[in-house]
Structure 1
Amino acid sequence: MVLSPGFTWPRSSLTGLAEDLASRGYVVAGIDHIYENFATTFPDGRVATCAACKNINDDDFGQRVIRSRAIDIPFVLDQLTGPRPKWKGSALINPARVSMAGQSIGGAATPETMLKDFRVRAGINLDGSLFLPIESGLTRPFLLMGAPSGDNTWKRDWEHLTGWKRWLVVKGALHPSFTDYDMLLQQLGADLGGGLKRTRLMDITRKYVAAFFDLHLRGKPQPLLDKPSPHYPEVHFCAPSATNC
């Protein structure tokens, strides 16, 4: 599976999630989107900086980033699973069980990527506003999971997710809580103002993301995704008509 980080953030911002998925037997590819994060160093020593940052105030900026990432992901998949794969462990990848998750605009790019590349069987958006509307129905499994921000784009596009879907809101979470940063900053003594302390949000994210992929890639039943759990009272099941989200 591929993980796509937020704008300007490196792939390492999703290390905690990547490590957990790898420990469960998944092959995980974290992506640095060149010219979108502050700095990417190539093997030969060249450094690419954030060329896209100069356009961040453009009205269609979010849409352009999403379209760009929907090109990046298929390219990475081609490099990993094509006839001459660039990774020596490529034989471990099952091309029939490819998935994607992303945080912030990386999550927002997930449905567009799935619509462009049918190899991606299941997707997760972790707290990303859908700058680019889902204009045609997405029939494959999709999970929306985020902070209680009242994002109207999720409500707008909910009906266009026509396959298996869930919308989970985590009370006490903030936008960076679905990365490593909230947890690490708390360890350094900083407080971003979220209501979940220490590793609680990381534990929740790992548990629900793994349950989603185990269900849709491995066919293992996941009661956790059917209804609220007493073990995770912070997680609320939502829909456009819900009033508690």
Structure 2
Amino acid sequence: MRIFEILLLSLNVLTLVILLWKRGKAKKLLVALSGVALILLVLQFAVEHFRWQIVPAYVLTFLLLLWSAMQLRSHTYRLRHRALKVTAAIFGALYVVITVGLPVLLPVFETAKPSGPYAIGTATYHWIDVKREEKLTKDPVDKRQLMVQIWYPAETSGDEKIAPYIPDLSGLKMAVQQKYGVPGFFLDYLRNVNTHASIKAKISNAQQNYPLLLFAHGFPGTRYTNTSQVEELVSHGYIVACIDYTYHSIETVFPDGKLVLLSDNLPEMNDWDSWDQIVTDTWVPDSKFVLDQIEQLNTKDPNGILKGKINLKSVGMFGHSFGGAAAAQTLLADPRFKAGMNMDGTLFGKGDLKDGLKQPFLMMNVKTPEVNSADEPNEEELLRIGMTREDYDFIAKEIPMRKNNLLKNGGYSVMIDKIDHLSFTDLYLLSPFFSWNHQMPPRQAHSIINDYTLAFFDKHLKGKTDTLFDRPSSPYPEVKVIFQE
């Protein structure tokens, strides 16, 4: 919770306790406390802004003020009967639990302050690939369109507007309502969540140019699901382009206001061949197209920011989950990318990895129990768990083989214990409810993930030789690093 919210709730609880237990001995004090609470409410509105989770606290503030004023004018205390007092105390406690619980469970969170020396700027671009048809619409003349948000080291004046965490909240609200049945107003409070980036700030002149990284979100995800990771990279001197993979993102909003939701025309979960095809036919061409467009930005940027500041000889790509698979396949298809990273993604894609990648690649995964190949299930066991032999062979044999091939020319494997698949994103910051039973707090997980991400790209795009990958062992007991020669 934010400071005025904490002060308001704390004062309301104190007032409620005094009102129930001090009887008529502190009438003037109660009125004074209620008045201060009203002032805090106004300040919370003015500084931190309204959010629906605080509505019970707003209501409680006015009720306590009214009740205190009534007691000041009354000559008798109305809750002298023990049963009435106990009942009031029970309802008061329940109300306090709700009042405090809602803002705690649905907080206006902040991503960790980036540790690097650079301030951060951001600008968003809308690009249309006129050479490619959009296969996920019925319009035969529709072309593939992408929204890309670019983050870069900046020199801020202080006059720039701070970028919101969610660029198009109305689109996200509509998406979650249509796809998951969650009322749109439920997400209204997220409009108060900001990034550490200034919109269209001047790019920093501390360096002649900066290495470029492309980020691919998970499926479904959005370009902002890894903002805390992106900001950390940018603060250490990287330009990062985050791609919304249209119709495979939970929502995309184009400049004309058109809202594009996650496609309904998706394969079954175990249609492995179709998922391979989506990576190869859509995500890889999207990623290559974005790099094409960024090359043009380096010559002429309509926003007047990035011209000449992108080091196109030091380009990398990273992604989470499905986006991590896209990163591997994009490096296989396009030698302009010099290094890549996959965060816990199944290696989908049609590109043949039998000879491995020529570029350095990092597989960062959650730690999973080792499976003994001798324990291969029989047909009856497969039937019991609802899996076909084809499914089992793909998951237990094909994917591990792809991983071994991918890293065979000098790749890295980083295994992190006590986290899970979504720990690589910002999702667990949205509510402690999502991570209450996790062994590692979200911010601690982000710190480890960010340290190894930065170390990998520093080593292979900046040529540093004193990174985490140059040490004999990891400083984190939860991490195991393997270099595959």
* Structure 1 and Structure 2 fold alike (TM over 0.5): yes
SS of 2:435's partner is coil
SS of equivalent residue, structure 1 residue 55: coil
Does residue 35 (structure 1) correspond to residue 247 (structure 2)? The answer is yes
Cα separation, 2, equivalents of 1:86 and 1:124: 30
Looking at structure 2, the residues matched to 176 and 114 of structure 1 have their Cα atoms a distance apart, in angstroms, of 24
RMSD: 2.2
Residues 19-168 of structure 1: pairs in structure 2 closer than 5 A:
19-51=231-263, 54-57=266-269, 58-67=271-280, 68-82=282-296, 84-85=300-301, 88-90=304-306, 91-132=308-349, 134-149=353-368, 152=396, 153-168=399-414
Alignment equivalent of 1:169, drawn from 394, 415, 420: 415
Which residue identity is paired with 2:338?
A: R
Q: Deviation of residue 103 (structure 1)?
A: 0.3
Deviation at 1:202, TM superposition (A): 0.3
- After superposition, give the CA deviation of every residue in 1:40-61 in whole Å (9 maximum; x if it has no partner): 0001101111126533443423
How far apart are 1:160 and its partner, in Å?
4.0
3-state SS, counterpart of residue 409 of structure 2: coil
In the superposition, relative to structure 1, how do residues 122 and 86 fare at CA in structure 2: closer, same or farther (>3 Å)? farther
Q: State the structure with bigger RCO (CA 8 A, min sep 6), 1 or 2.
A: 1
Please name the residue that 2:479 is paired with.
235
For the residues of structure 1 that align with 2:220 and 2:268, how far apart are their CA atoms? 11
Instruction: Give the 3 Å change call, closer, same or farther, for CA 59–43 of structure 1 in structure 2.
Output: same
- How far apart, CA to CA, are the structure 1 residues paired with 2:286 and 2:264? 15
User: How far, CA to CA, are the matches of 1:106 and 1:99 in structure 2?
Assistant: 13
Cα pair distance change 1:52/1:209, threshold 3 Å: farther
Give the superposition deviation at 1:193.
3.8
**1:173-206 residue CA offsets vs partner (Å, 9 max, x unmatched):** 10000011124332xx432643211411000011
* Farther-moved stretch of structure 1 (27-36 vs 50-59): 50-59
Give the gaps of 5 or more residues in structure 1: 241-245
> Structure 1, residues 96-136: CA drift from partner, whole Å, max 9, x if none?
01100000010011111011111110000000011236234
Per-residue deviation, 1:141: 0.5
**Mean Cα deviation higher: 49-58 or 175-184:** 49-58
Structure-1 residue corresponding to 2:103? none
Higher mean C-alpha displacement, 13-22 vs 175-184: 175-184
Closer, same or farther: CA 38–117 of 1 in aligned 2, 3 Å: same
Greater share of helix residues, 1 or 2? 2
Q: Secondary structure at the match of 2:215?
A: strand
Q: Following the alignment from structure 1 to structure 2, what is the Cα–Cα distance between the partners of residues 174 and 166?
A: 19
Q: Distance in 1 between matches of 2:367 and 2:445?
A: 14
Say which SS state the counterpart of residue 71 (structure 1) adopts: helix
Please name the residue that 1:5 is paired with: 217
1:243 is aligned to none
Q: Which has the larger radius of gyration?
A: 2
Question: 2:364 touches 2:413 (CA, 8 Å); kept in 1?
Answer: yes
Distance 1:92 1:51, change over 3 A: same
Q: Give secondary structure in 1 for the equivalent of 2:368.
A: coil
Query: Are the counterparts in 1 of residues 474 and 480 from structure 2 also a CA contact under 8 Å?
Result: no
Residue 160 and residue 128 in structure 1: after superposition, are their counterparts in 2 closer, same or farther (change >3 A)? closer
Looking at structure 2, the residues matched to 218 and 239 of structure 1 have their Cα atoms a distance apart, in angstroms, of 19
- Alpha carbons 2:423, 2:442 under 8 Å: kept: no
Residue 211 (structure 1) aligns with: 455
CA 1:164–1:222: 2 relative to 1, 3 Å: farther
Counterpart in the other structure of 2:86:
none
Give identity over the alignment, percent. Answer: 34
Structure 1 residues 191 and 112: alpha-carbon distance in aligned structure 2, compared to 1, 3 A threshold: same
Contact 1:171 1:195 in 2 (8 A): no
Correspondence for 1:224: 468
